[in-house]
Chains A and B, each alone.
Chain A
Amino acid sequence: MSIEIHSIVKIYGKESRKKGGVRALAGVSLSVSSGEIFALIGPNGAGKSTLVKILLGIVHPTSGTATILDRPVSDHSARESVGYLPENMHYPPLLTPHAFLHAVGSLHGVRHPELSQRIAFLLELLDMKKWERTAFKKFSKGMMQRIGLAQALVHDPQVLFLDEPSDGLDPIGRKDFRDLLKRLRDEGKTIFMNSHLLSEVELVADRIAVIRSGSILKTGSLNEIVPPIGGFTVTIRGELPEEMYDALSIYPVTTANGLAIIEVPTAADLERLQSMFKTQNIAVESIVARRLTLEESFLSLIKESPR
């Protein structure tokens, strides 16, 4: 396991709730495997940021233990192979990305010439090469976010923590970012992300945990968090033959952009349709089990759980 969390409790202020302390985490336990994109989702004040900050040594837990790559998080050497993209990082306005990345890489112990090569590679990868000698004060939020990601990756970490990573990125930037995360995962890196953008999480996360009021409500893959609601969406490329019109009239069918999309309510109906398509030599483009979106599931989970 890359990240192990055992019964972490965090009470801000006084050590006990009776004395006026605020409980941010109420015994959270989690584990994240190597080469996995893990997303922590929850409403504001659920404890997402506190948990990440405990893992990074920014906040001290009231009780419980956590390890990263088998090293306790209280030991600063646990962060040698950890990269972190905070939500609202402050960049020295007069420094340039090149100077900043050089400094951050040095703080991780990366030396020249490896550091210079790594900086050049990351600036190219994140499409920031032409801005490498421009002071931060001239940067937009999206550009800052790209540099934030570069600083998190400058020492080629094994574990990456991302706090609201898509914040400030345009749709193209988000797509590039998702591709980058998948590529990092394929390289065996572990990615732990916090995000409010559930549509983004849905597209990239291997496993998801839902947290509320400092407690984990549910953990699992996307299929486990968002179970099928019954029925299938069948997509066929091209026109449907006329002889099938009667058979298909009982299902909602829509056509657009040369595709016919049929909503099928049950597995038995799907089986019957598939044999008809086979007889008619109709190629099926895709069959997808119908499910709620992550956002719909999340809202229903939050609504059902006691506060």
Chain B
Amino acid sequence: MKFLALVRYTMRETLSQKIMILLFAVLTVVIGLFVFTISLNAVNGVVESVSIYGSKPIASSELPSLIPDTAQVFIVFIFIATVVLCVITTAHVIPESLAAGTVVLFLSKPLSRASILLGRYCGVVLGIATIQVYFAGGLWIVYSLKTGGWDFSLLLVCIPLVLSFASMFALMTLLGVAFRSTGLVAAVAFVHATYLTEILAHHAWSSRSFSDVSVLQRAVGALYYILPQVADLRDSAVHILKGQPVFLASYIVAVFSGAVMLAAAVTMFRRMDF
């Protein structure tokens, strides 16, 4: 119960930030644009033609070439809006939680140090998940209302979306505990979520035998399995949207690496003096 109280408090604190309120507003505007600018003509849940902002309708015969690209752009936009932005806006949470005036509030309560750190972690992840589900769910409802077909499998996009942020925030929690610097956490998390994850996702070492690759390539390969696989999860979301098979390995690695990072963060936190 005390743990849940901490999760609730952190979630509330996260969502009450001005930047989060602004993000909610922006995402609501995007959902509104989807309502008013895109006209879908559907028969029995199947899209026959699409018209954007009153333009000439695109016939269903042309849609197969259009939908994959649109889906990719759509998912990249959702990831930028709800993963990259949220990573930056939550970078301060753990370092500030460990600042002198704040950490005493938590440590003086009847909670173990592991509960405190995990409670803060879960609160932030649930807060951001609320935003992500609100946005993805909002778009799904609008799409379903316009087409008349309620395809619940599209909602599965929320899983890679939430998992991406959760695994990123595990990394940020570890960095926050180790360095207690918002700037450093924000910089590393931003670089990883935007660039490093792409490099790691496209590395070629796995296609060769282990003895053929250099030490650097082995290190990059190891990083691929240690760090959050945001790019792979994003691609997985595109596969869900396109109705293609989903590769589960990136989900397993995200959960495993997140758990390892949180365990490392808790171990460090338990030994700290403030």
Interface residues in chain A, defined as those with a beta carbon under 8 Å from any beta carbon in chain B: 12, 53, 56-60, 76-80, 82, 84, 86, 88-90, 92, 94-95, 99, 103-104, 106-109, 111, 151, 161
Contacts and interface: CB of A to CB of B under 8 A. Distances in A.
Interface stretch (B47-55, B97-105, B203-211): B97-105
Interface in B81-113: 96, 99-113
Interface residues of B, number: 30
B239 interface: no
A76 B3 CA distance: 13
Contact of A94 (B16, B103, B107, B112): B16
B94 to A, nearest CB: 14
Given A86-B101, A90-B102, A94-B17, A58 B9 contact: no
A106 B17 contact: no
Nearest to B272: A60
B12 interface: yes
A86 B109 CA distance: 12
Interface of B: 1-2, 5-6, 8-9, 12-13, 16-18, 96, 99-113, 271, 273-274
A82 B104 CA distance: 13
A95 B14 CA distance: 11
B110 A79 contact: yes
Closest 6 interchain pairs by CB? Answer: A106-B5, A90-B101, A84-B108, A103-B9, A80-B110, A59-B273
A228 B8 CA distance: 56
Contacts of B12: 95, 99, 103
Nearest to A111: B1
A103 B123 CA distance: 13
Contacts of B1: 106, 109, 111
Contacts of A57: 107-108
25 contacts: A56-B107, A58-B108, A58-B273, A60-B271, A60-B273, A76-B110, A76-B112, A76-B113, A79-B108, A82-B108, A86-B101, A86-B104, A89-B101, A89-B104, A90-B99, A90-B101, A94-B16, A94-B18, A95-B12, A99-B12, A103-B12, A106-B8, A107-B9, A108-B110, A111-B1
Contact of A58 (B8, B99, B101, B103): B103
A53 B273 CA distance: 9
B273 A104 contact: no
A66 to B, nearest CB: 15
Nearest to B104: A86
B274 A56 contact: no
Nearest to A105: B5
Contact of B2 (A53, A56, A89, A109): A109
Contacts of A76: 110-113
A57 B110 CA distance: 10
A60 B273 CA distance: 6
Contacts of A80: 110
A11 to B, nearest CB: 11
Nearest to A92: B13
B111 A107 contact: yes
Contacts of B106: 107
Given A59-B274, A60-B271, A95-B16, A84 B104 contact: yes
Nearest to A61: B273
A104 B105 contact: yes
Nearest to B106: A107
Given A80-B110, A95-B16, A88 B101 contact: yes
Contact of A107 (B104, B109, B271, B274): B109
B208 to A, nearest CB: 46
Nearest to B107: A58
A76 B117 CA distance: 14
Given A90-B101, A109-B2, A95 B13 contact: yes
Contact of B100 (A12, A88, A151): A88
Contact of B273 (A12, A90, A95): A12
A111 B113 CA distance: 22
A161 B101 CA distance: 15
A53 B274 CA distance: 8
Contacts of B273: 12, 53, 58-60
A107 B6 contact: yes
B2 A106 contact: yes
Contacts of A161: 108
A292 B106 CA distance: 41
A123 B12 CA distance: 22
Contacts of A84: 104, 108
Contact of B5 (A12, A95, A107): A107
A90 B104 CA distance: 9
Contacts of A53: 104, 273-274
A83 to B, nearest CB: 8
Given A53-B274, A92-B13, 18 more contacts: A58-B104, A58-B107, A58-B273, A60-B271, A86-B104, A86-B108, A88-B100, A89-B101, A89-B102, A104-B109, A106-B2, A106-B5, A106-B8, A107-B6, A107-B110, A109-B1, A109-B2, A161-B108
Contacts of A88: 100-101
B5 to A, nearest CB: 3
Contacts of A60: 271, 273
